[in-house]
Amino acid sequence: MAKRTRIIEGTWNCTSCDTRDIPARLRNCPSCNNPREETGQESEFEFGDVDAASGKAQREGVTDEKALSASGAGADWFCDYCGASNRGDTPLCRNCRAERSATSRALVAEPEPSDAPPPPPAKKGSSRKWLYVGLVLLAVFMCFFWGSRTHDVTGKVVATEWTRTVHRESFQRVSKTGWRDELSTTSPRMPVNGQGEVPGVENIRDCTRRQRGTRQVADGTERVCSTKTREVQCGTEEKCTRQKLGNGYMKEVCEDVPKYCDESYEDCRTQTRYRSEPVYDLSCTYDTYAWKEVDVREQSGNDSSPRWPELPVGRNDRLRREEKYLVRIQYEDDGVQKHELEPKSEAEFLSWKNGQSVSLQVSNLGTVSDVAHAP
Ligand SMILES: [Zn+2]
Ligand SMILES: [Zn+2]
């Protein structure tokens, strides 16, 4: 890509008489004839607006011999004696004829801009956003911390309850259905004292074809399309870099670089189509044995001697037992509060006596984390 170079002339403001926008080529103020100096920001030049997208200066470039010569003379220096600005390539002050010394102050030209693109500007407000997120997290943490702090309170057992249930199950002959290939005839065995039983498979009969499942079968092909997006070059756009030369002139280099746009397109593929097809198999009826619940009895009480309900056991029977215990506790913590314990065993249940004092650990949010017998 061809590069286009322009020289832009800056302007300065006279601090002696307040004349503004004096072209850089004039080293003396056209109104008061004072020389341009370093003081009063007289040598900090204005170059006008710059287009944000391309970086191109809005001001016209200069092409005349005098301006081009001045722009190529290097950075200005300032006279030690009279303070006047001088061309970088002259050894004597044009104002007082003093020589440029090793200590003469000079403007500094900007370095040649590199081809690397400038880093993206940091998003404003992003750090503030993170500050808010941090504060919210801290608040949540503080609440959680406060809520999980515990304190000890004293309470009392106000009731104890027990419930005991006995289920009587009988090993009985039943009919079931099953897939033929999963059945083989085996003899049943009856339980002894409720265990050691074998269900068995007997009298396999009435086999019929029934659907057992489905399978996927290839059935031709189909076109499948989806809309996708890709980046394509769509012409070019002008990009410019600028370099202040330290003498009231600025060098601008512009070039046309490829521009990329999003383009949507149809992405199509041919793929195999499938249809589902039923799969049939033989289903049969057979005889076997299974545990069936035939009776249930429940007993409950508020005393401290839990008992099992009576239930007679037949020859092919077994008993299944369930026990449930509940201890109700009341305590004073910002009003009367209730808590329930569910002991797992009879021994644990019997350790809690009605009217007994207990100590509880309660969090600030009201959750009970521990209950112990009061010392
Ligand atoms: Zn002036
Ligand atoms: Zn001088």
Q: What spacing in Å lies between the alpha carbon of 28 and ligand 1's midpoint?
A: 8
What gap in Å lies between CA 333 and CA 36, rounded to an integer?
A: 84
Q: Which ligand is nearest to the CA of 22?
A: 1
Average pLDDT value over all residues in the chain: 91
Sign of CA dihedral 47, 50, 55, 56: negative
Among all bound ligands, the one having the nearest atom to the CA of 14 is 1
Amino acid identity, residue 131? L
The answer on pLDDT for 117 being more than 70 is no
Judged by its nearest atom, the ligand closest to the C-alpha of residue 32 is 1
- Which tokens belong to 292? 């069936």
Residue range(s) defining the domain that contains residue 102? 1-73+75-108
In a domain, 200, yes or no: no
C-alpha span between 16 and 22 (Å, rounded) = 13
Q: Which listed ligand is nearest to 17 at the C-alpha? A: 1
Q: What are the helix (H) ranges across the chain?
A: 65-71, 126-148, 346-350
6 domain-assigned = yes
Give the ligand whose atoms come closest to the C-alpha of residue 79: 2
Ligand 2 centroid from CA 27, angstroms: 12
Cβ count near 39 (within 10 Å):
10
**Quick check: is 254 in a domain?**
no
Rounded to the nearest angstrom, the distance between the alpha carbon of 101 and the centre of ligand 2 is 11
Distance 24 CA to ligand 1 centre (A): 14
Is residue 126 very low, low, confident or very high in pLDDT (cuts 50, 70, 90)?
low
Q: Which of 25-39, 96-110, 162-176 has the lowest mean pLDDT?
A: 96-110
Quote the DSSP letter at residue 39.
G
| Residue carrying the six token digits 């081009």 | 68
The dihedrals phi and psi of 137, each to the nearest 5 degrees, come to -60, -40
Considering every ligand atom shown, identify the ligand nearest to the alpha carbon of residue 104 and give its number.
2
**Residue 256 lies inside a defined structural domain of this protein:** no
Give percent above pLDDT 90 in the chain. 72
Nearest ligand for residue 94 CA: 2
Pick from 207, 143, 149: nearest CA to 178: 207
What are 257's strand-pairing partners?
A: 237
Rounded to an integer, the average pLDDT of 128-133 is 86
In this structure, is residue 139 part of a structural domain? Answer: no
Supply φ then ψ for residue 43, to 5 degrees. Answer: -100, 20
Residue pair 318/324 in contact (Cβ under 8 Å)? The answer is: no
What beta strand segments (E) does the chain contain? Answer: 3-9, 11-12, 22-23, 77-78, 85-86, 150-179, 202-244, 249-301, 317-332, 336-341, 357-363, 368-373
- What is the predicted pLDDT for the residue at 4? 94
Q: Is residue 152 part of a domain?
A: no
What is the CA(98)–ligand 2 centre distance, in A? 5
Torsion of CA 241, 242, 243, 244, to 10 degrees: -170
Residue 24 covered by a domain: yes
CA of 103 to the centre of ligand 2 (A): 14
Q: Ligand 1 centroid to 109 CA: how many Å?
A: 25
Does 307 fall in a domain?
no
Query: How many Å lie between the centroid of ligand 2 and the Cα of residue 70?
Result: 19
142 token code pair: 């503080």
Cα 95 to ligand 2 centroid, rounded to whole Å: 5
- Give the number of the ligand closest to the Cα of residue 96: 2
Phi/psi region, residue 206 (left: phi>0; alpha: psi -120 to 50; beta: rest), is left
Report the Cα 113 to chain-centroid distance in Å.
38
Each residue's pLDDT tens digit, 294-320 = 999 999 999 989 999 988 888 899 999
Convert the pLDDT of each residue in 179-194 to its tens digit.
Answer: 999 999 999 999 998 8
**pLDDT tens per residue across span 73-102:** 999 999 999 999 999 999 999 999 999 998
The DSSP 8-state label assigned to residue 13 in this structure reads: -
What φ, ψ does residue 172 adopt, rounded to 5°? -120, 155
Predicted local distance difference test score (pLDDT) of residue 129: 82
In total, how many domains does the chain have? 1
**Is the pLDDT at 370 greater than 80, yes or no?**
yes
Q: Write the pLDDT tens digit of every residue in 196-232.
A: 999 999 999 999 999 999 999 999 999 999 999 999 9
Average pLDDT of span 275-293: 96
